[in-house]
Amino acid sequence: MATVAINLATGTFQQEEIIVGIDLGTTNSLVAYVHPDSRQPVAINDQGRGSIVPSVVHFPADGAEPVVGTEAREFLLTDPQRTIYSVKRLLGKSYRDLGNHADQLGYKVIDDNSESLVKIRVEDRFYSPIELSADILKELRARAEHALKTPVNRAVITVPAYFNDSQRQATRDAGRLAGLEVLRIVNEPTAAALAYGIGLDPSDEKTVAVYDLGGGTFDISILRIQQGIFEVLSTNGDTYLGGDDFDRVVAEYWTSAFQLPAAFRSNPHLQQQLRLAAEMAKKYLSQHDDFTTHLTDEAGQNIAVMLTRAQFNDLIRPLVDRTIAACRQALQDSTLAATDLDAVLLVGGSTRVPLVYDAVSAFFGQPANNSLNPDEVVALGAAIQADILAGNRRDVLLLDVTPLTLGIETLGGLLDPIIPRNSKIPTKAGRQYTTSIDGQVNLKIAVYQGERDLVSQNRKLGEFVLTGIPAMPAGLPKVDVNFLLNADGILQVEAIELRSNTRQQVEIKPQYGLTDEQVEQMLMDSLVNAKEDVAARLLIEARTAAEQLLYQVGNFTKKNRQHLTEEELTATEAQVGKVRSALAGPERDPILKAMDELDELTRPYAERVMNISIQQAMAGKKIG
């Protein structure tokens, strides 16, 4: 599909649409593109809001459209049940995959059936992590379109190197749901290497370590790059370790060192204030030696808190040491020595912390490379990959490798590998099988991914049954099973019984992946149900507000009976009755109307009572 477009932002003719590169992060997401004139990758900064979009989705209480980014992040502590963060952790996962990590989130993760994909519940609506990721992608897409003044329909999206097929497929589905054709899913460390220009020259032969410390996750990958092929030699890390933990240890230190009031642990607004101040201190100390600010408690009192870089380093040292232990393991798994590495690349906002830089450089025995903006480097690399796919760099051929072995189940529950891990993709491989029982007419083909010998310890991607095998003695039928793995790591499996030429061809979508129809259905549902959802939500909001008002009015009349006349009391009671009967009904407008009337009626009494109590308070006070 060739389209011709004029880019209004740059005033140039575009042969092809721009393909963007997207870093869909756990904490922050970004979109980048290769500028058609400068040929340089740039992160898109729409309206001077910065290039970083926090990966947070907030569903406003009034049922309005979800809000994404910095604005949504403000609600993390004050409205946690309607504010979804770290959704990337849930992507492509079943409830069983999550284990007890589901309890640690501020929002509700639903377990309808431990084998199927998790859902997130916000009041009376359910959202899949795919839909929520799509909300983030839609925001990125909108920003790109706004900044570039051109439609954006195609993208490259990055994922961690350890993401399995199911998680990759879920990422792809999220892209589709956001209206993006996802041309390629690329490993984050591969993108980082590309951004540093490594692998762009096919004669390049390099081995690099990519150290990525983000907000909530840590990944270390050792890559070998030769002839445009990026091979993941090993990965390690900790999916629950990142810059947020640095903020937490600072907050804990202040709480005890400055004896902060207990409310800083319980009141969401104070917790938020403390957390933000801790993050501010951390960032400030990346550049300065000491930091001072003040917190404001419930009574409006200021409490000064401070932190030096040396204190900060002591607080985070155990956390940084854990990342180094993971680096040691990754290096060992790659069977390389630190001296074999041509470069150590730093990725992720938390690598700005000087102690992190020092520890990584010391461990690998060479200064780590942090010359690119660590927040942007993955998105920039994705943009380069997009540019390659757009055909703008014809000299470069980029291939990826499959991170895990693919095979089928054979007798005794064993995995028979067909495509070994680290095979270059796209790739094709096959094997011949036969039946084990006389007269067997069906053969079950179950496809697994993983490195273990027993299929039960690997991940099942799917299965199908080859039917119509002519009845023959065991061992006579010849069944060819062929695997075709495309450039995105999506697998196609074909089985043929050679004697009868019975064949069956199946695209093995990962077990948890969505079919095209399911994605379309989800799109349709969200359109059809949108109106109803909003109406239902508004009704619930109105009912809650009415119940609160009734409670307040009840309290008020009980406390101030002596200041109210008989008529006022009767009128109030009558209006309370009207609100109650509206509440029992199915409509929102009568509830709002009755509430307004009750509010109107009682406001003058409330003001009068307030004046009385102020006068009494004044009278009791001696002046001077």
Using CB under 6 A, which of 19, 20, 22, 28 touches ligand ADP?
Answer: 28
Smaller CB distance to ligand ADP: residue 244 or 387? 244
Site for Mg ion in 298-317 (CB under 5 A): none
Distances (CA, A) of 342 to 170, 220, 339: 34, 15, 8
Binding mask 294-333 for ligand ADP (x = CB under 6 A): ----------------------------------------
Which residue blocks in 5-112 are alpha helix, DSSP H? Answer: 70-73, 95-98
Q: Could you write out the DSSP letters of every residue in 170-201?
A: HHHHHHHHTT-EEEEEEEHHHHHHHHTTTTSS
**What is d(CA 469, CA 496) in angstroms, rounded to the nearest whole number?**
9
Output 25 or 92, the one with its CB closest to Mg ion.
25
CA distance 282 to 353: 8
Marked catalytic residue, from 17, 46, 88, 119: 88
User: Which residue number places its CB atom closest to Mg ion?
Assistant: 25
Residues in the interface with ligand ADP (CB under 6 A) total 21
Query: What is the per-residue DSSP string for 550-574?
Result: HHHHHHHHHHHGGGS-HHHHHHHHH
Please choose, from the candidates 404, 25, 42, 74, the residue with its C-alpha nearest in 3D space to the C-alpha of residue 217: 25
Our finding on whether 282 is near ligand ADP (CB under 6 A) is yes
Radius of gyration of the chain (CA): 30
Angle among Cα 276, 278, 283 to the nearest 5 degrees reads 95
25 scored as a contact of ligand ADP (CB under 6 A): yes
Give CA separation, 234 vs 2, 61, 332, 445, 524, in Å: 39, 45, 9, 30, 41
Q: Which two tokens stand for residue 369?
A: 């490379």
Q: Does 350 bind ligand ADP (CB under 6 A)?
A: yes
CA distance 405 to 531: 46
Binding mask 479-518 for ligand ADP (x = CB under 6 A): ----------------------------------------
Yes or no: say if 248 and 403 are a contact pair by the CB < 8 Å rule: no
Residue 283 interacting with ligand ADP (CB under 6 A): yes
Instruction: Choose the catalytic residue: 17, 139, 173, 212.
Output: 212
Using CB under 6 A as the binding rule, the residues of this chain from 356 to 375 that contact ligand ADP are: 375
**Does residue number 214 form part of the binding site for ligand ADP (CB under 6 A)?**
yes
The site map against ligand ADP for 395-434 (x = CB under 6 A) is ----------------------------------------
When CB distances are held under 5 to 8 angstroms depending on the partner's kind, the choice from Mg ion, ligand ADP, none that residue 510 binds is none
Among residues 272, 286, 434, 504, the one that binds ligand ADP under rule CB under 6 A: 286
| Residue 238 among the catalytic residues | no
Q: Applying CB under 6 A, which part among 278-286, 446-454, 487-495, 601-609 lies near ligand ADP?
A: 278-286
For Mg ion, which is the closer residue by CB, 28 or 502?
A: 28
Given Mg ion, ligand ADP, none, residue 228, with its beta carbon under 5 to 8 Å by kind, binds none
Contact 87, 129 (CB under 8 A): yes
Tell me, residue by residue from 206 to 225, as one string, x for binding to Mg ion by CB under 5 A and - for no binding.
--------x-----------
Q: Is 281 left (phi over 0), alpha (psi -120 to 50) or beta?
A: alpha
First to last CA, the chain: 85
477, 435 contact by CB (below 8 A): yes
453 in active site: no
Q: What is the C-alpha to C-alpha distance for residues 573 and 601, in angstroms, rounded to an integer?
A: 11
Judge whether 290 counts as a catalytic residue.
Answer: no
Stretch that binds ligand ADP, among 166-174, 240-248, 313-321, 561-569 (CB under 6 A): 240-248
Preceding peptide of 470 cis, ω within 30°: no
How many Cβ atoms sit within 10 Å of the Cβ of residue 48?
Answer: 5
Q: Is 600 a catalytic residue?
A: no
63 binds, among ligand ADP, Mg ion, none (CB under 5 to 8 A by kind): none
State which residue, 214 or 450, has the beta carbon closest to Mg ion: 214
Give, as ranges, the residues between 151 and 190 that touch ligand ADP (CB under 6 A).
Answer: none
Residue 25 lies near Mg ion (rule: CB under 5 A): yes
CA distance 321 to 273: 28
Contact footprint for ligand ADP (CB under 6 A) = 25-28, 214-217, 242-244, 279, 282-283, 286, 348-350, 352-353, 375
Catalytically active residues, by annotation: 23, 88, 188, 212
Contact footprint for Mg ion (CB under 5 A) = 25, 214
